Structure 1
Amino acid sequence: MDDFEDELKEQYTGRIDIKGALSGSFPGEKSLLEELSIDLNMIKTESLLPLKVLKHNTTEVNVSSDVTGPIIILVVFTLSLVIQGKLHFGYIYLISLTSSFLMFILLNLLTSKGVDYSICCNIMGYSMTPIVAFSLGSMVLVWTGMFIKSILGIGMSAWSAYTASKVVCTHLSLVEKMVVVGYPLFLAYMCFMMMVLF
C-alpha cells in the first residue's frame, strides 16, 4: 500500500508549468490531435491528390480511411459558399453522403475485393479539392460572365471525377471500368459545381 501512495505522490506532486496549469495537461502527455489520430501533415499531402494524379508516372496513391480531411474540405467549401451568400448546408451534406454511399454500393458491385465506406468518403472528399478551389476562385472572378464560370466549373468537375475514378480504379484494379466509375462521380461533382454557380 505504501508503494502505491509513493507512486501517486511522485506522479501528482511534480512541477506544474504555466501551460500545464492552464490547460490541465500532464507533462509528457500526447496532444489532443495525436489522441484523436488526426495527422495534419497527411491531410496536407492528401489534399494535393488531384495534382498527384495528373502526373502520368503516378500509379499508386496512398488510400486511407481518414475522414477528417474530407470533412475539413467540406467545411471550407461550405464557408466559401456562405461568404458568397449561398446557404446550402443541407444540400452539401446530403449530396456528399448520398453520392459516397451510392459510390460505395457501385464499387462493391463491381469488384469482389470490397471497399469500406470510409475509403469512399476519403477518396471523394480529397478529390473535391478542385471544386473547392473553383468555389474560392469564383469569389474573385465576380466580373466574369456565367459562360466562363460554367466552362471552368465543368473543367474542375471533370478534374475531380478523373482524380477520384483513377484512384479508385488503381486501388481496386478496375482500370478497364474507369468510365463506369467516373460518370457518376462527374454527376456528383457537377451538383457541387452548380451550387457554386447558382
Structure 2
Amino acid sequence: MSDYSNQDNFWAPPPQNVQYNFDNTSFGQPNQQFEFANYTDSQANDYESYPPQDFYNPNQSPYTGTAAFTDEEDEPPLLEELGIDPDRILQKTLAVLNPFHRHGQTDDANYLLQDSDLAGPLAFCLTLAAFLLLAGSKAHFGYVYGLAATSCILMFILHSLMTSSGNVTLVSVASVLGYCILPVVALAGLGIFTSLQNTGGMLLSGFAVLWATTSASRLFCAMSGEEKQRLLIAYPCLLLYGVFTLIVIF
C-alpha cells in the first residue's frame, strides 16, 4: 500500500515502484445467484390508482385549462376596450341638437345614469379649447378645463341638494354638461372666421346659450325625475353656458 503517513507534504511526487494489491473477495463470489422480488396482484393494483399524465400542451393554460393563445380576430376592438361607443356618442349628440324631442332613449333616467360616458364631453371640451386657440383667444385649454371641472362639482352639489332620489352621480352630471356644450362649441368654431363682437354675434351667442340651457335642463329633469324644478335647474345652466360664451366672444 502507499505511504500516506507524511500528511504535511501533499504536493510531493508519489513513491516509485509501489505495488497496489486489490482484494476481489469483497466484490462477490463467482456464479453468484441473484434473487428478484415477486409482486402480487394487490401490489400491482396500487400502481394502477395513479392516473396517467398527458404530455404538456403549449397552447393550453395550466390554470384555466383554456387556450392561452387566441387569434387577433377574437380580441375586442380598441374603442370597446377604452369604453368609447361611437353610436352612443352620436345618439346623445343628436338629443342635444333636438332639445324638444322627448320620446327617445336619452330621456330614460336609467340610460342617463348607467351610460354616462365622458368620451364625448372630453372631445367637445378639447374642440372648444382648440377653436379658442385658433381664434387667437388667450383663454383656451387651462380656462376651459378648469371652468368645466368647477362647474361639474358645483352642479353635482346643487343636484344632490335639490333631488331626493340620490341617484345623480358626478359622472352623469359631467356627461350632461359636456354634451350640452355643443352649441357653444359651434359658436366658437364660427368665431374663427368672423368676429362675434357685433349685433349678429350677440344674437347668435344668446341663441347658443338658450339652446344649451334647454337641452341641459331637459336631460337633468329626465335624470332626476324632478320635472317641476326645471326652471331652478335651468338657471345655473344658463349662468354656466353664459360664462363659456363670454370666453368665446371676448
Q: TM-score, normalised by structure 2?
A: 0.67
**Paired position in structure 2 for 1:113:** 165
1:116–1:110 Cα change, 3 Å: same
**Paired position in structure 1 for 2:122:** 71
Q: Which has the higher contact order (CA 8 A, sep 6+)?
A: 1
**Paired position in structure 2 for 1:128:** 181
**Paired position in structure 1 for 2:201:** 149
Superposed CA RMSD in Å reads 2.3
Shift of 1:47: 1.5
Supply the AA of the counterpart residue of 2:234: G
Contact 1:49 1:127 in 2 (8 A): no
**1 or 2, which has the higher helix percentage?**
1
Q: Which runs of 5+ in 2 are unaligned?
A: 1-53, 62-66
Supply the AA of the counterpart residue of 1:7: Q
Contact 2:121 2:179 in 1 (8 A): yes
Supply the AA of the counterpart residue of 1:82: L
Asked whether 1:104 is paired with 2:156, we answer yes
Deviations 1:76-120 (A, max 9, x none): 111111111224211111111111111100101011112100000
Asked whether 1:55 is paired with 2:101, we answer yes
1:175–1:34 Cα change, 3 Å: same
Number of aligned residue pairs: give it.
185
Deviations 1:16-70 (A, max 9, x none): xxxxxxxxx8342112111112101211221122223223656925413201110
Q: Which runs of 5+ in 1 are unaligned?
A: 15-24
Whole-Å Cα distance in 1 between the matches of residues 73 and 222 of structure 2? 44
Shift of 1:130: 0.7
Whole-Å Cα distance in 2 between the matches of residues 191 and 2 of structure 1? 70
Which of 1 and 2 has greater Rg? 2
1:6–1:28 Cα change, 3 Å: closer
Aligned to 1:84, which of 135, 155, 172? Answer: 135
Deviations 1:144-163 (A, max 9, x none): 65222112111101110111
What is the aligned-residue identity percentage?
Answer: 28
